[in-house]
Amino acid sequence: MDAIEPLGGAEFAPQQTYLNTSACALLPRRTIEAITLLAEETAAGRAGGAGDFDIVAEARATYARLMDVHPDRVAVGSSVSVHVGLIAQSMPPGAEILFPEGDFSSVITPFTVRGDLKTRFVPLELLAESVRPETALVAFSAVQSADGRTADFAAVRAAAAAHGARTLLDATQSAGWLPLRAGEWDYTVAGGYKFLLCPRGASFLTVTEEAQDSLVAIHAGWVTGEELWTNSYGPVRELARSARRFDEPPAFLSYHGAARSLALLEEVGIERIEAHNKALAARFRAGLAELGHAPVPDVSGVVAVPGLGDRQDALRAAGVLMSARAGNLRASFHLYNSAVDVDRALEVLAG
């Protein structure tokens, strides 16, 4: 097989075979430096306080370019569950929400805890055909956390449009390696600490202009005003006319790092990363087949092997990090991985 070299150059220096980005990414060197600089400046008495809104705006704009939307369509926050909670709390009582079976709990639970919504679960492969006139929202992950399967995006969009349902795409396991157009979905959410290479505490929500009025800014505060520095006391006079009305107060350490991480992804290019990750995944699938193991079929950059979840500890002891999810052994490839990483994992599994 041809050699597949890592992307990103000297930004990464893993000390073991790290195939676990679906759990948490390696941080680039530039990101660590940005966080360290802000922490040191804050400790010394930084003139502007504990961070810069201009750098948050930079992160917002770069994420928007990566997701092919205008920055006005992007809200920043801390976690996927908070973004989804905003959407869930804005749904009218009795609304039907359609999910794939076994999707990630942060996409589902904010709706189920309401108690007055109708939630329905179907197999992923039947998601599009299960949309019906009473469906208000179809919520699903672009790449399934448990097994790496990808949904039929076009079919889901077409079915939702045919029945007047809105769509919520969780891009946490896909943004950063799979080219996505956020404007094709009413809402998208993405936790930054996986394939977007960001520190924990950076997460992104996109909302189309048409869908924005469907949401209630339930955690609005001074940072959500149209004029940022005029709403410190009393009610916010005017919420931002953009998706910034749904911002959480940014965790500046996280966003100073996120701006650098997102810039690196843009420099390398998502299409290039997609080809790289899929090539590594294909190499791993081929090697697994030679060993007599049958991974979950897909062309995703995330590979799951049913029945091998109990090998996680032995792999870790040999310096190979993967995840055990729903009984599967899950390998997730990203720009800092190489063919050497794949071959090492296969070598340990063979032994």
pLDDT at 131: 98
Share of the chain above pLDDT 70, in %: 99
- According to the model, what pLDDT value does residue 2 have? 66
Domain membership of residue 146 (yes or no) is yes
Together in a domain, 54 and 74 = yes
Last residue of a domain, one of 267, 284, 302: 267
Same domain assignment for residues 196 and 286: no
Q: Which two tokens stand for residue 246?
A: 């749904």
Q: How far apart are CA 248 and CA 217, in angstroms?
A: 10
Q: What is the pLDDT of residues 154-212, one digit of tens each?
A: 999 999 999 999 999 999 999 999 999 999 999 999 999 999 999 999 999 999 999 99
Q: Among residues 267, 287, 302, which one ends one of the domains?
A: 267
Q: Is the pLDDT of residue 1 over 80?
A: no
Which of 232, 267, 302 lies at the terminal end of a domain, its last residue?
A: 267
Question: Rounded to whole angstroms, what are the CA distances from 219 to 54, 78, 163, 289, 316?
Answer: 22, 12, 30, 49, 41
Concatenating the DSSP letter of every residue in 73-126 gives GEEEES-HHHHHHHHHHTSPTT-EEEEETT--HHHHHHHHTTSSSEEEEE-GGG
Examine the pLDDT at 110 and tell me if it is beyond 60: yes
Q: In which domain, by residue range, is 301 found?
A: 9-27+269-350
My answer on whether 71 and 192 are in the same domain is: yes
Is the domain of 38 the same as that of 117? yes
- The token pair at 303 is 């590979």
How many CB atoms sit inside 10 A of residue 47's CB?
6
Q: Quick one: pLDDT at residue 191? A: 98
Confidence label for 264 from pLDDT (cuts 50, 70 and 90): very high
Contact, 99 vs 107, CB < 8 A? yes
Residues 186 and 232 grouped into a single domain: yes
Q: Are residues 89 and 137 in the same domain?
A: yes
As beta bridge partners, residue 137 has: 97, 166
Instruction: Encode pLDDT of 62-88 as tens digits.
Output: 999 999 999 999 999 999 999 999 999
- 243 and 319 fall within a common domain: no
pLDDT, tens digit, for every residue of 308-345?
999 999 999 999 999 999 999 999 999 999 999 999 99
**Residues 211, 330: one domain?**
no
* 82-103: average pLDDT: 98
pLDDT digits (tens, 9 = 90+) for 272-281: 999 999 999 9
pLDDT of residue 343: 97
**CATH at 185:** 3.40.640.10
Q: Domain check: are 247 and 278 in the same one?
A: no
Q: Secondary structure of the chain: what % helix, strand, coil (to 5)?
A: 40, 15, 40
Q: How much is the pLDDT for 149? A: 96
How many domains, in total, are found in the chain?
2
